[in-house]
């Protein structure tokens, strides 16, 4: 979701038989964590099909009509059927398989009371007749009405992610229980159009200058991806031929019915075809190929990836690229838990980079990633994984810095770790195929990643996904006697993740050539050397910009740092040591590092000599390291007594 109304003040203007084959393997784990106001009675049934039949205008969020839910009992037996439904909506009646039944409607739950006990594997249809004004209980209200002043158009539309589908229809707000299919019938004034999921299979003219638009989708769909938009629209549609497909895909766009809007936006709308072709090549064929991909334009700042019919505020290239990518990452495969929103937003955000890389230029892609890194580093902490305490906090779930930008940066670093684009995109396709029409956790992607690469990604996910912050790297280097020596020091932006394991690229520039080598750093201080005949003119860190890091200094020892700036007294030492400098130093960070590269002491000081208490340390060799103004100074320390 790239919905900008709330959290993107800082966002730079980018964002006949409907019962499907029951062979889909629905994930059972994580139901409690995946639902807000979870009610265990919802475990009684599995949603098979929604039919939403509502009357809407373009001037109000008032709605009236019915929603039918075809469900199957999956527990031994039960006497109550519970649905999520806004208490402000008025329930007129409820029918179970065509017969009126009693109900209770309280605390945003609709409790249907069947006359008989429901038995395992029974199927039944619950139809709720209701009306009312969908009211906003948070910044995501589920249903909206607004006027687009530039084009003088009113629109009523829905946006339900993550917990607001209940504000306009009774449903089961559990991510793992995707409906196998759905119908959305919208009746409105005949001069208006209604766009929705799937295919428009019928348009019925009704008395009183009204028209019913009958949309149907036969693909599994999560509750929050069902939607509609009603407005004075024109239909601008075209077809795109995808590689490996005999038929062409319908690209259907409901846009404001003015010639000026069409002419202004046509070129950008047409670029959707290029994006669909690109993503189909990289991720696998567009997953809802037998229906359509489309857009409904609405007066908002951003977009929402409603399955097969995205809701958009504009046709800005990156916004279209982001929401289209969600059809694979978010719709086809949906996060199993809002704590793992990265499954949706991280991959869709990284697809913006991919769109730039393949359809614009590598330079634009590099600038996108550099901007992402800069934005992530505006704060030091925060994990991409949403902590349990914030699992139902919309502000935290859709944290633009963490879920979107850092989520994208993680995927870029995974691509850098793999160093093989053919394998990287094959893994994405395997992931989508394995969890298609279903849900997945971040751990599911990690397991597949390890399976396909034969590598352990525990450390990677612990530091980048579940951990917080990012590392800073300072490098001293020298080139002597055809050997390149490097002395590398890593620190972290947060104590929550004090150490990072990173595969770091080094660009070595000689008189006649450049080369890139890779070194893995998994300790805070590291030294390495490599045979390098010739004359090294320059050393760059992470030249391909794979890593979310802060390069605080790259220093040629022969040019930048005096040979003996730091010295220790006494050395060897017993119980304490003084740190001296041969030049005046401002505030300096002093570290003690053991032979395994582990940090065991750190403190800032601007007064020297500085005394370090060594009592309690085991005898042996240590490195005393100081950092100041992007330079590092090191001296070996021998401790003879604890």
How many Å separate Cα 410 from the centre of its chain?
10
Mean pLDDT (whole number) for 480-499? 94
Q: What is the distance between the alpha carbons of residues 524 and 592, in angstroms, rounded to a whole number?
A: 10
Q: Residue 1, CB half-sphere, CA atoms under 13 Å: how many?
A: 24
Residue-wise pLDDT for 54-64, tens only, equals: 999 999 999 99
pLDDT at 565: 84
CATH H-level superfamily of 2-353: tricorn interacting facor f3 domain (2.60.40.1730)
Mean pLDDT (whole number) for 596-604? 87
pLDDT at 242: 96
Mean pLDDT (whole number) for 335-355? 98
pLDDT tier, 641 (very low <50, low <70, confident <90, very high otherwise): confident
401 close to 378: Cβ distance less than 8 angstroms: yes
Q: Is the pLDDT of residue 549 over 60?
A: yes
Residue-wise pLDDT for 494-521, tens only, equals: 999 999 999 999 999 998 899 999 999 9
Strands 293-297 and 233-241: unpaired
Mean pLDDT (whole number) for 237-263? 96
pLDDT tier, 179 (very low <50, low <70, confident <90, very high otherwise): very high
Q: Tokens 């590689």, residue?
A: 243
Residue-wise pLDDT for 278-294, tens only, equals: 999 999 999 999 999 99
pLDDT at 404: 98
pLDDT tier, 561 (very low <50, low <70, confident <90, very high otherwise): low
Domain ranges within the chain, ordered by starting residue: 2-353, 354-464, 471-556, 566-641
Q: Is the pLDDT of residue 25 over 60?
A: no
pLDDT at 1: 65
Q: Is the pLDDT of residue 32 over 60?
A: no
Give exposure, 462-480, as e/b (b: 16+ Cβ within 10 Å).
ebbbebbbbbbbbbbbbbe
Mean pLDDT (whole number) for 110-115? 97
CATH assignment, 566-641: 2.60.40.1930
Q: Which option is the CATH number for 471-556: 2.60.40.10, 3.30.590.10, 3.30.565.10, 2.60.40.1840?
A: 2.60.40.1840
Q: Residue 543, CB half-sphere, CA atoms under 13 Å: how many?
A: 13
Q: What is the distance between the alpha carbons of residues 3 and 397, in angstroms, rounded to a whole number?
A: 12
How buried is residue 408: exposed, middle or buried, by Cβ count under 10 Å (0-12/13-18/19+)? buried
Q: Tokens 């000081």, residue?
A: 605
Mean pLDDT (whole number) for 462-482? 96
Residue-wise pLDDT for 446-460, tens only, equals: 999 999 999 999 999
How buried is residue 133: exposed, middle or buried, by Cβ count under 10 Å (0-12/13-18/19+)? middle
Which residue from 207, 206, 182 is spatially nearest to 196, judged by alpha carbons? 182
Q: Return the SS3 of 280.
A: helix
Q: What is the distance between the alpha carbons of residues 478 and 563, in angstroms, rounded to a whole number?
A: 11
Neighbours of 79 (CB within 10 A): 12
Q: What is the distance between the alpha carbons of residues 61 and 225, in angstroms, rounded to a whole number?
A: 18
pLDDT at 400: 98
pLDDT at 631: 86
Q: Which DSSP helix (H) or strand (E) runs through 357?
A: helix 342-359
pLDDT at 616: 87
Neighbours of 367 (CB within 10 A): 12
Mean pLDDT across the chain: 92
Give exposure, 554-591, as e/b (b: 16+ Cβ within 10 Å).
bbbbeeebeeebbebeeeebeeebebebeeebeebebb
132 close to 89: Cβ distance less than 8 angstroms: yes
Q: What is the distance between the alpha carbons of residues 469 and 238, in angstroms, rounded to a whole number?
A: 45
DSSP 238: E
pLDDT at 596: 82
Helix extents (H) in 386-481: 394-397, 407-418, 421-434, 442-453, 458-464
pLDDT tier, 138 (very low <50, low <70, confident <90, very high otherwise): low
Q: What is the pTM of this model?
A: 0.90
Q: What is the distance between the alpha carbons of residues 522 and 501, in angstroms, rounded to a whole number?
A: 4
Which residues have a Cβ under 8 Å from the Cβ of 47 and sit 6 or more positions away? 69, 70, 71, 171, 172, 177, 178, 179, 180, 223
Q: Do domains 471-556 and 566-641 have the same CATH topology?
A: yes
186 close to 196: Cβ distance less than 8 angstroms: yes
Give the relative orientation of helices 259-270 and 272-283 as an angle to the nearest 10 degrees: 30
Torsion angle in degrees (nearest 10) through CA of 475, 480, 482, 487: -20
Which neighbouring-strand residues pair with 49?
70, 181
Window from 65-69, 141-145, 404-408 with minimum mean pLDDT? 141-145
The three state secondary structure string of 82-100 is EEECCCCCEEEEEEECCEE
pLDDT at 241: 97
Q: Is the pLDDT of residue 403 over 70?
A: yes
pLDDT at 18: 32
476 close to 495: Cβ distance less than 8 angstroms: no
Q: Is the pLDDT of residue 551 over 50?
A: yes
Which residue from 376, 218, 370, 408 is spatially nearest to 308, judged by alpha carbons? 218
pLDDT tier, 247 (very low <50, low <70, confident <90, very high otherwise): very high
Q: Is the pLDDT of residue 15 over 70?
A: no
pLDDT tier, 7 (very low <50, low <70, confident <90, very high otherwise): very low
pLDDT tier, 9 (very low <50, low <70, confident <90, very high otherwise): very low
Query: How far apart, in Å, do the first and last CA atoms of the chain sit?
Result: 57
């Amino acid at each position: 979701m790239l919905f900008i109304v709330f959290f993107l003040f800082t966002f730079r203007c980018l964002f006949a038989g409907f019962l499907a084959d029951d062979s889909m393997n629905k994930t059972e784990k994580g139901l409690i964590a995946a639902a807000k106001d979870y009610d265990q009675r919802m475990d009684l049934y599995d949603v098979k099909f929604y039919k939403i039949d509502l009357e809407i205008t373009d001037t109000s969020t008032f709605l009236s009509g019915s929603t039918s839910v075809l469900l199957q009992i999956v527990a031994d037996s039960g006497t109550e059927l519970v649905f999520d439904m806004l208490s402000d909506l008025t329930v007129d009646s409820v029918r179970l398989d065509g017969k009126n039944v009693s109900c209770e409607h309280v605390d945003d739950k609709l409790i249907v009371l069947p006359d008989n006990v429901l038995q395992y594997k029974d199927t039944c249809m619950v139809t709720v007749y209701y009306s009312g004004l969908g009211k906003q209980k948070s910044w995501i209200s589920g249903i909206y009405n607004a006027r687009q002043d530039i084009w003088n158009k009113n629109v009523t539309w829905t946006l339900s992610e993550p917990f607001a589908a209940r504000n306009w229809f009774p449903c089961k707000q559990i991510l793992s229980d995707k409906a196998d299919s759905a119908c959305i019938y919208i009746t409105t004034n005949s001069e208006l159009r209604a766009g929705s999921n799937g295919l428009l299979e019928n348009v019925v003219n009704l008395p009183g200058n009204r028209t019913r638009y009958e949309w149907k989708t036969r693909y599994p769909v999560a509750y929050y991806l069902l939607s509609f938009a009603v407005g004075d629209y024109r239909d601008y549609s075209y077809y795109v031929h995808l590689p490996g497909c005999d038929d062409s895909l319908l690209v259907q766009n409901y846009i404001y019915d003015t010639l000026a809007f069409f002419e202004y936006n046509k070129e950008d709308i047409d670029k959707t075809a290029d994006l669909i072709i690109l993503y189909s090549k990289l991720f696998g064929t567009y997953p809802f190929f037998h229906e359509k991909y489309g857009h409904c334009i609405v007066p908002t700042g951003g977009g929402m990836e409603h399955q097969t019919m995205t809701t958009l505020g504009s046709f800005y290239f990156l916004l279209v690229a982001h929401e289209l990518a969600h059809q694979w990452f978010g719709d086809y495969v949906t996060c199993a838990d809002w704590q793992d929103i990265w499954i949706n937003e991280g991959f869709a955000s990284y697809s913006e980079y991919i769109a730039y890389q393949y359809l614009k230029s590598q330079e634009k892609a590099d600038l996108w990633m550099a901007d992402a890194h800069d934005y992530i580093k505006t704060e030091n902490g925060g994990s991409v994984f949403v902590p349990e305490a914030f699992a139902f906090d919309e502000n935290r779930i859709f944290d633009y810095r963490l879920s979107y930008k850092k989520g994208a940066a993680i995927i870029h670093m995974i691509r850098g770790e793999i160093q093989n684009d053919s394998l990287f995109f094959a893994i994405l396709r395997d992931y989508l195929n394995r969890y298609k029409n279903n849900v997945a956790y971040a751990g599911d992607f990690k397991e597949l990643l390890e399976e396909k690469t034969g590598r352990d990604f525990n450390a990677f996910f612990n530091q980048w996904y579940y951990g917080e912050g990012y590392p800073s790297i300072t490098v001293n280097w020298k080139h002597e006697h055809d050997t390149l020596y490097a002395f590398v020091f890593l620190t972290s932006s947060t104590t929550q993740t004090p150490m990072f394991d990173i595969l770091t690229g080094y660009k070595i520039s000689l008189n006649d050539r450049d080369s890139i080598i890779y070194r893995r750093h998994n300790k805070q201080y590291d030294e390495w050397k490599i045979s390098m005949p010739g004359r090294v003119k320059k050393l760059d860190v992470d030249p391909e910009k794979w890593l979310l890091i802060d390069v605080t200094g790259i220093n040629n020892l022969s040019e930048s740092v005096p040979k003996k700036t730091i010295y220790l007294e006494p050395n060897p030492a017993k119980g304490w040591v003084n740190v001296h400098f041969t030049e005046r130093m401002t505030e300096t960070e002093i570290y003690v590092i053991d032979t395994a590269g582990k940090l065991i002491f750190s403190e800032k000081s601007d007064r020297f000599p500085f005394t370090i208490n060594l009592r309690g340390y085991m005898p042996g060799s240590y490195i005393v390291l100081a950092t100041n103004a992007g330079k590092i100074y090191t001296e070996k320390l021998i401790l003879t007594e604890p």
